[in-house]
């Protein structure tokens, strides 16, 4: 080996040792720097013409483990998802109050029952009646407040999603810019570890927002892709967009650099996934179930009040908008009911008995005259005669007494969709509603659907995570039956048949269920249908879509007439067997109030809502189940958060055990490289001495 080769070999060793010492020094200096990844010098044997010529420096590398990095990113993404869900579900749960406190929402219903139980003991007390109405108003007001705040939480969540998407776009832009810096440093064999460390921290932040796939680039840096493989960051960043509306679930699209196409991407974790689940699934479940609970609780109060009689009886009873024409509303009723016309002292003047099963109307116990749903109004007016009248306008039935006569109704055994005659039409409701709150329409496959032919409803179908499948516009058929409407909605060609199916249950509740493999979710984009002139649309009548469901619990008000004059409350009972000329309604009768006080213990069918399926149970039992479901949901989210946090901590610890700086190890390396430096220096000194000797000989 020539002295020149020896000097070059020693000099390369000296340079390699110096570079390694600098790397070790940086590691030690940054031992407590967050996000710092220790680095090492890549050394490689240098060979020229088969002869070893020392060592060459290939560059400085960060000591990382791609598997541990991906595991850490995945765990962090899942942790952030459940952290967001847990936080907002805890906020939603707190809206209902402390279960151990007197102001707990579900305790307010018990206060109503207790207040009416007190009236039963002293029916003549105006003060007790006012207190009972105040307790009803308190329950209604609290239900509306909670509903409005849950909806407001959804709006807050949507704002957070918008901000998160904007932050993700900023991160993707920075990651792409750092790819250029890292690649440039790699070409120049410079140290790009600083830029790579910053990029790694940005990837950690991005993973907290959304799940990503990260792959190293040949020239340094990383490619970031979505689950489907859409390139989000490389040479240039993609642009993410959050797409949502008041009526449809939100989803995120990516527009790759240089493309004009917005491609929906799948998010399975990250805070964005958690926030979108809250907006489109978790919070709607709460206000949907709150609406079902409130409407059924109010329905039971109204059922008991409609089965009661006031003293003195009112001269007019104005029903609610049923959304139906009268023949359709009457069709399907069974059992019997009695309408009594009494004077101011409660003495029976006329009794009109309606036998829905037999299809007859009889007066004062006389022979029954036949009626049909189509002739019901005319036949009822014939039976009332000069004593009263019945009208039907705006899809609402109204009864009036003539000559100062009052009205009282005995529900008897009448029933349709679990409601008596007076209750179904809302003739004597304690609580009034604006809009439809009970979606058990009573419509059967053989009923006329009543919607205007040619009107259209546009349905939006999406995957369970909100990504759109397609919008379908369905035209109301000219064929008149509900079965025709359902078949049109379910058509494979013009309806939703390829993705799911609508079904009509025995109570006339219309629901949609997605089919495999898409398991589609349905929402309403627009609905221009109407059931008759000025009537409800399909979505309003059947409660389809979040827009309809989100305000359901806020539609109730105590009857203005009763609130203005509590003496008009129906706290007694009609004696339907009383003969003409005898007392049928008595002062001091508290049996009606007693019925209201026990209405929470009457089994009723609840439709599927929130986390509970269709069940038959008492309102009081459902209150317990609902309250428990809210608590379980919040607790389950907290448990998932704790579990995912533990996984994230473990993954981060393992990653840091590889990427982090170990002072003991670095001190050993420092000693090793110092010795290598000294050895190279001695080799140079020896070569220099040999050269001096040779020159001296010459």
pLDDT tens per residue, range 253-300: 999 998 889 999 999 999 999 999 999 999 999 999 999 999 999 999
Q: Are 298 and 556 contacting, i.e. CB atoms less than 8 angstroms apart?
A: yes
Give residue 659's pLDDT band: very low, low, confident or very high (50, 70, 90): low
**What single-letter DSSP state applies at residue 590?**
-
CA distance 456 to 448: 17
pLDDT at residue 603, as a whole number: 92
pLDDT tens per residue, range 194-208: 888 888 899 999 999
Higher-confidence residue of 665 and 334: namely 334
Q: Are 363 and 338 contacting, i.e. CB atoms less than 8 angstroms apart?
A: no
Task: Give the residue among 647, 436, 405 at the shortest CA–CA distance from 539.
Answer: 436
Return the H-helix or E-strand segment holding 127.
helix 126-187
pLDDT at 377 exceeding the cut of 80: yes
CA distance 586 to 123: 11
pLDDT at residue 384, as a whole number: 96
pLDDT tens per residue, range 400-459: 999 999 999 999 999 999 999 999 999 999 999 998 999 999 999 999 999 999 999 999
pLDDT tens per residue, range 180-234: 988 887 777 777 778 888 888 999 999 999 999 999 888 888 999 999 999 999 9
Task: Please provide the size of the chain in residues.
Answer: 698
Q: Are 604 and 296 contacting, i.e. CB atoms less than 8 angstroms apart?
A: yes
CA distance 507 to 361: 25
Give residue 10's pLDDT band: very low, low, confident or very high (50, 70, 90): confident
Q: How far is CA 495 from the centre of its chain?
A: 25
pLDDT at 673 exceeding the cut of 90: no
3-class SS of residue 102: coil
Token couple for 31: 């031992």
To the nearest whole number, what is the mean pLDDT of the chain?
Answer: 90
pLDDT at residue 105, as a whole number: 92
CA distance 289 to 277: 17
pLDDT at 1 exceeding the cut of 60: no
The whole-model pTM stands at 0.87
pLDDT at residue 56, as a whole number: 72
Q: How is 606-665 classified by DSSP, letter by letter? A: EPPBTTB-SEEE-HHHHHHHHHHHHHHHHHHHHHHHHHHHHHHHHHHHHHHHHHS--HHH
pLDDT tens per residue, range 26-67: 768 777 777 777 777 777 777 776 666 677 776 677 666 677
Q: Are 625 and 633 contacting, i.e. CB atoms less than 8 angstroms apart?
A: no
Strand 521-527: give its sheet, edge to edge: 468-475, 456-462, 521-527
């Amino acid at each position: 080996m020539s002295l020149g080769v020896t000097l070059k070999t020693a000099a390369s060793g000296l340079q390699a040792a110096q570079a390694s010492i600098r790397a070790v020094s940086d590691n030690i200096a940054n031992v407590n720097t967050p996000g710092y990844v220790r680095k090492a010098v890549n050394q490689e044997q240098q060979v020229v013409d088969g002869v070893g010529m020392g060592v060459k420096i290939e560059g400085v590398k960060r000591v990382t483990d791609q598997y541990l990095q991906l595991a850490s990113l995945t765990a962090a993404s899942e942790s952030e998802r459940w952290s967001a869900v847990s936080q907002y579900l805890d906020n939603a749960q707190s809206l209902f109050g402390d279960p151990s406190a007197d102001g707990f929402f579900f305790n307010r219903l018990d206060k109503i029952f207790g207040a009416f139980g007190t009236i039963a003991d002293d029916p003549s007390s105006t003060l007790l009646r006012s207190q009972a109405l105040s307790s009803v108003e308190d329950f209604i007001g609290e239900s509306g407040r909670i509903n409005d705040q849950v909806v407001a939480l959804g709006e807050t969540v949507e704002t957070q999603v918008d901000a998160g998407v904007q932050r993700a776009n900023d991160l993707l832009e920075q990651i792409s810019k750092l790819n250029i810096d890292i690649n440039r440093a790699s070409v120049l064999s410079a140290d790009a570890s600083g830029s790579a460390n910053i990029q790694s921290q940005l990837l950690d932040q991005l993973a907290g927002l959304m799940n990503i796939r990260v792959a190293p680039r040949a020239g340094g840096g990383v490619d970031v892709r979505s689950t489907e493989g859409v390139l989000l960051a490389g040479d240039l960043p993609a642009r993410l967009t959050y797409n949502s509306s008041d009526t449809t679930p939100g989803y995120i699209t990516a527009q790759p650099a240089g493309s004009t196409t917005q491609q929906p991407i799948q998010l399975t974790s990250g805070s964005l996934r958690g926030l979108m689940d809250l907006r489109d699934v978790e919070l709607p479940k709460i206000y949907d179930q709150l609406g079902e609970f409130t409407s059924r609780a109010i329905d039971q109060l109204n059922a008991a009040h409609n089965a009661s009689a006031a003293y003195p009886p009112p001269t007019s009873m104005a029903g609610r908008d049923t959304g139906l024409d009268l023949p359709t509303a009457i069709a399907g009723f069974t059992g019997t009911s009695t309408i009594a016309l009494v004077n101011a002292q409660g003495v029976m003047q006329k009794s009109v008995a309606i036998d829905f099963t037999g299809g007859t109307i009889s007066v004062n116990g006389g022979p029954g005259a036949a009626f049909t749903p189509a002739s019901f109004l005319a036949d009822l007016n014939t039976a009332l005669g000069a004593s009263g009248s019945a009208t039907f306008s705006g899809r609402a039935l109204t009864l009036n007494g003539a000559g100062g006569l009052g009205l009282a109704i005995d529900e008897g055994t009448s029933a349709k969709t679990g409601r008596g005659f007076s209750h179904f039409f809302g003739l004597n409701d304690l609580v009034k509603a604006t809009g439809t709150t009970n979606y058990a329409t009573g419509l059967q496959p053989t009923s006329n659907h009543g919607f205007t032919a040619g009107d259209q409803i546009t349905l939006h179908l999406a995957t369970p995570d909100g990504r759109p499948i397609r919008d379908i516009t369905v035209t109301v058929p000219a064929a008149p039956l509900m079965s025709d409407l359902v078949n049109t909605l379910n058509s494979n060609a013009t309806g939703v048949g390829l993705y799911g199916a609508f079904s009509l249950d025995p109570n006339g509740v219309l629901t949609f269920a997605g089919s495999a493999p898409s398991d589609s979710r349905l929402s309403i984009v627009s609905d221009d249908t109407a059931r008759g002139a000025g009537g409800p649309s399909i979505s309003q009548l059947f409660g389809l879509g979040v827009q309809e469901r989100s305000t359901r619990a806020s539609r109730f008000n105590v009857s203005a007439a009763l609130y203005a004059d509590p003496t008009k409350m129906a706290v007694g009972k009609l004696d339907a067997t009383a003969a003409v000329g005898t007392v049928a309604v008595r002062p001091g009768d508290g049996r009606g109030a007693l019925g209201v006080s026990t209405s929470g213990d009457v089994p009723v069918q609840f439709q599927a809502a929130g986390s509970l399926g269709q069940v038959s149970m008492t309102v009081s039992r459902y209150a317990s189940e609902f309250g428990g479901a809210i608590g379980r949901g919040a607790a389950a989210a907290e448990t998932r958060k704790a579990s995912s946090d533990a996984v994230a901590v473990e993954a981060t610890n393992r990653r840091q055990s590889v990427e982090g700086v170990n002072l003991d190890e670095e001190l050993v390396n420092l000693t090793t490289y110092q010795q290598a430096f000294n050895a190279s220096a001695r080799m140079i000194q020896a070569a220099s001495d040999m050269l001096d000797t040779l020159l001296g000989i010459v």
